[in-house]
Chains A and B, each alone.
Chain A
Amino acid sequence: NAGVTQTPKFQVLKTGQSMTLQCAQDMNHEYMSWYRQDPGMGLRLIHYSVGAGITDQGEVPNGYNVSRSTTEDFPLRLLSAAPSQTSVYFCASSYSVASGEEMGELFFGEGSRLTVL
């Protein structure tokens, strides 16, 4: 069972370089999201999508772009990497439920560790 797959697992960039973190899920989930984990900060939401063609900003969207052209894929783009973007990035997906309905479980990938020098 693949679940949520993130690539690459590790990446080192120089300041100003661009790159894309890939995320794919095979569970036909409508909802996908990106979080970053930093020491003492927990998990912070970067961007999310409630379906193909629909994206929105989370708590810390600056410096990141996303798109959702298919249900399965939700790439995260860093256009000009900065040392402050050194972090572990997690992609997560779930079924969508109506507002107020019981939460669907959020499934996470294994993470992508990014270092920006």
Chain B
Amino acid sequence: DQQVKQNSPSLSVQEGRISILNCDYTNSMFDYFLWYKKYPAEGPTFLISISSIKDKNEDGRFTVFLNKSAKHLSLHIVPSQPGDSAVYFCAARPYGGATNKLIFGTGTLLAVQP
């Protein structure tokens, strides 16, 4: 049973436009949500996170929005750049338990067209 879901396997946007990546989760027992980016043949790298007590966190071109009532998380990239082309994973940390034990979604492949 997938607790963290990314329903769009891929997304294509034009350079300079906004990229919106979406993520849904199925229970409320998460205290942190994160986005990781992965290039081919490399390990995932941390991008941005948000606490469950907040609804927005911004870092440069990247903004994460959290809608707890809808159990929905989104990542906005503005403006999108060709170097942003990668697989994006959302992840959630369960309350309690191991400190950095993360549950990952299935990933969305973002392609930014020049």
Binding site for B on A (CB under 8 A): 4, 31, 33, 35, 40-45, 48, 50, 56, 58-59, 90, 92, 94, 96-111
Enumerate chain A residues within 8 angstroms of B70, measured Cβ to Cβ. Answer: none
Enumerate chain B residues within 8 angstroms of A43, measured Cβ to Cβ. Answer: 44, 89, 91, 104, 107
* A/B pair count, beta carbons within 8 Å: 77
Q: Is the CB of B99 within 8 A of A42?
A: no
B33 to chain A, nearest CB (A): 9
Enumerate chain B residues within 8 angstroms of A90, measured Cβ to Cβ. Answer: 43-44
Enumerate chain B residues within 8 angstroms of A98, measured Cβ to Cβ. Answer: 99
- Closest A residue to B97 by CB, please name it: A99
Q: Is the CB of B106 within 8 A of A97?
A: no
A-B pairs, 6 with minimum CB distance: A108-B43, A43-B104, A42-B106, A105-B46, A42-B104, A103-B32
Contact of A106 among B6, B96, B100 (CB under 8 A): B100
Query: CA A101 – CA B101 in complex, angstroms?
Result: 13
Q: Is the CB of A48 within 8 A of B101?
A: yes
